[in-house]
């Protein structure tokens, strides 16, 4: 499956991309020559990892009939100080909230997302170390 996008320069450091009927604006802060009109591209990689995995997890929770009242996914990436400033490692923390949540099943769900389903994390895993942690909050 091939995906294609076109990003259009809108002046200074601002770019706009039409994606699935939505406009995404990417920019830098004023100090870097932008207008702070949108998020930074590198941080969007972290968003893509969190949300790709999150969609897998929500789907698997439904299939396993596990009800959670909340799911938060925290992602941190450590980037190099020198150019190119790419991420050298990443950590994903899955924070589930609910009543009597089955930890072994949650661990299996996260493992499936990491090892089988999430293409974004799969790509990261080919390039850098990626770890995860599971936290469970009882209601």
**Alpha-carbon gap, residue 102 to 40, rounded angstroms:** 37
**pLDDT score, position 46:** 98
Taking only the tens place, the pLDDT of each residue in 52-109 is 999 999 999 999 999 999 999 999 999 999 999 999 999 999 999 999 999 999 999 9
Q: Where are the domains of the chain?
A: 1-39, 41-138
pTM: 0.93
Taking only the tens place, the pLDDT of each residue in 7-40 is 999 999 999 999 999 999 999 999 999 999 999 9
> Which of 51-72 are b and which e, b meaning 16 or more Cβ less than 10 Å from the residue's Cβ?
ebbbebbeebbeeeebebeeee
**Alpha-carbon gap, residue 83 to 71, rounded angstroms:** 35
Rounded mean pLDDT, 114-126: 97
Instruction: Give the full edge-to-edge strand order of the sheet including 7-9.
Output: 7-9, 15-19, 22-26
**pLDDT score, position 126:** 97
Instruction: Give the pLDDT band of residue 43 (cuts 50, 70, 90).
Output: very high
Assigned fold of 41-138: GMP Synthetase; Chain A, domain 3 (3.30.300)
Q: Which two tokens stand for residue 51?
A: 């949300």
């Amino acid at each position: 499956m091939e995906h294609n996008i076109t990003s259009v320069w809108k002046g200074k450091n601002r770019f706009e991309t039409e994606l699935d009927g939505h406009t995404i604006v990417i920019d830098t802060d004023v100090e870097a020559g932008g207008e702070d009109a949108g998020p930074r591209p590198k941080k969007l990689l972290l968003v893509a990892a969190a949300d790709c995995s999150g969609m897998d997890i929500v789907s698997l929770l439904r299939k396993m009939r596990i009800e959670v009242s909340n799911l938060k996914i925290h992602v941190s990436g450590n980037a190099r100080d020198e150019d190119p400033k790419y991420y050298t490692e990443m950590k994903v923390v899955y924070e589930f909230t609910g009543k009597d949540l089955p930890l072994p099943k949650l661990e299996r769900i996260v493992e499936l997302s990491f090892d089988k389903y999430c293409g974004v994390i799969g790509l990261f895993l080919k390039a850098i170390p990626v770890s995860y942690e599971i936290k469970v909050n009882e209601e």
